[in-house]
Structure 1
Amino acid sequence: MNFEFLLIFLFHICTCVIGSELDYDGYLQLQLFHALNDDPVPNYTERGNITVTSIRTGASTIGQMGLQESQKQDLIKLAENNSKYRMKINVRSSSGSESTFLTSVPACHLLGTELEDILAIWVDGSAQPISITQISPGPCSLSSPPTNMWTTNVEVRHPDGGPTPDTASYIYKIEREKEARERGETKDNRSFIAKYWMYILPAVIFVVLSSAANPDAAGGGGGQRQ
């Protein structure tokens, strides 16, 4: 096997292993807490629960409590002060790991979308959450929303696999160079080892294994001398 083709083969094996991790499916349980105060230390109260039943597809079930009238007024006050609506999210994965994430959006954006937001859950290759971001694009508003109920969409986002290598062009280039060398059009400037490593390596392995299997023979006749 040509050395270049061996490298390509190993690269594809690594790529397949990484890709297989992204096919792992599991679930996530999220506990949502929000802070409607404007103090430096947030006073978190329960907002609801979300269960992502399939990390691969993003399917989820959502149960949230509506805002009480006093809470809605607190949200409006946050918007008037140009303050943030803050969330704390406790997550438990199907593997049993637990983690906590903090996120926030301008309070006026939630009023502008009538309490509609998006929770973007970023997971790594082993389907573990690494970031959760609350998104509410607005527009900004200071008016009281016509509803007390949250409308939340959940998006599970996977890491990009990166650009795919152009192996076909590389293999074509190697084949053309090989044909040129066989026709004598291109001088092979590689070292002796680079040219004949596929023959040298088995011989070296054979010698090492033979020496390990016969340690007495390696000592020769010197053991008889006094």
Structure 2
Amino acid sequence: MNSPYTWIPVLLAVILSAVGSELDYDGWLRLRVWHALNKGPMPNFIERGNITVTSVRSGASTVAQAGLKSSELDELRKLAEDDREYRLKASVRGSSGTETTFFTSVPACLVLGSELEDFLTVWLDGAAEPVAVSLSSYGPCSREVPSTQMWTTEVQVRYPEAGPVPDTATYIQKLEREREARERGETKDNRSFLAKYWMYIVPAVIFVLLSSATNPEAGGAGGGGGGAQR
């Protein structure tokens, strides 16, 4: 009769293969991108461009976006001077047809310092569906108008990666060997002497302590009687 432990590696293999099939799925993504150059708490988004990720597995993409006008560069510079954020909105549609909107931002001074070079990262779940979009730019921080009006955008696709698989087979075999050894009585008790016999030692120590506490009283009484004799 097979032990129930033998079914655990089989179940793990089935689960890992199911997860792997989702991660290996290759789909596409379409992104519409807007940005806000105003300072107010309510962003005034204007269209920046469109991005198509032709393969979520390889991250291959095409980017189409217009450059900034002189007036828009001046607005971006004012955001940097006031230590404000450059805000972005991205609407992402995947192979399933579901469309989700995400918001992200980066300090405006970093966008200026990088000469309008930024990185847009799309985060996917195990089913290749978008769960987040993040914008980053690596500066340095600047408050000067850049020498270019054109965006340089790199699109990155990130999704869960399979972690290390535990060696369950070896562990289960170890459990089986220990169980068989216990059944045959071959398991050795490697505990120390105190760990094995503490339940006998403790009562004996308590008895000795109690005896030591009562003996001085008896000795004291006998000494008093002897002192009364002549």
TM band (smaller chain): 0.7 to 0.9
Match of 1:21 in 2: 22
Give SS of 1:130's match.
Answer: strand
1:171 is matched with: 172
Q: Distance in 2 between matches of 1:182 and 1:15?
A: 34
**Which residues of structure 1 form unaligned runs of 5+?**
188-226
Percent identity over the alignment? 57
| Alpha-carbon contact 2:122-2:133 (below 8 Å) kept | yes
Partner secondary structure for residue 19 of structure 1: helix
Q: Distance in 2 between matches of 1:80 and 1:153?
A: 26
Residue aligned with 2:109, SS: helix
In structure 1, the residue matched to 2:147 is: 146
CA deviation string 1:142-179 (max 9, x = no partner):
11111100001111001243442122431341353255
Q: Which amino acid aligns with 2:17?
A: C
The range that moved more, 19-28 or 7-16, is: 7-16
- Long gaps (5+) in structure 2: 189-230
Cα distance between partner residues in 2 of 1:17 and 1:173: 28
CA distance in 2, matches of 1:9, 1:178: 21
The TM-score with structure 1 as length reference comes to 0.78
Aligned counterpart, 1:159: 160
Alignment of 1:91-170 (within 5 A): 91-170=92-171
**What one-letter code is carried by the residue in structure 2 that aligns with 1:95?**
S
Secondary structure of the 1:139 match is coil
Structure 2: how far apart are the matches of 1:140 and 1:74? 16
The aligned residue for residue 70 of structure 1 is 71
CA distance in 1 between partners of 2:110 and 2:173 (Å): 55
User: Structure 1: how far apart are the matches of 2:17 and 2:3?
Assistant: 21
Aligned to 1:195: none
Higher CA-based Rg: 2
CA distance in 2, matches of 1:177, 1:18: 33
Partner of 1:5: 6
Moved more, 15-24 or 28-37: 15-24
May I ask how many residue pairs the two structures share in their alignment?
187
Over the residues paired in the alignment, what is the CA RMSD in angstroms? Answer: 1.7
Partners of 1:136 and 1:95 in 2: how far apart? 30
Task: Measure, in 1, the Cα distance between the counterparts of 2:186 and 2:168.
Answer: 24
Separation (CA, whole Å) in 2 of partners of 1:50 and 1:158: 18
TM-score calculated relative to the size of structure 2:
0.77
Distance 2:59 2:94 in 1: 14
User: Given that residues 9 and 169 in structure 2 are in contact (C-alpha distance below 8 angstroms), is that contact kept between their aligned partners in structure 1?
Assistant: no
Q: Does 1:55 align with 2:17?
A: no
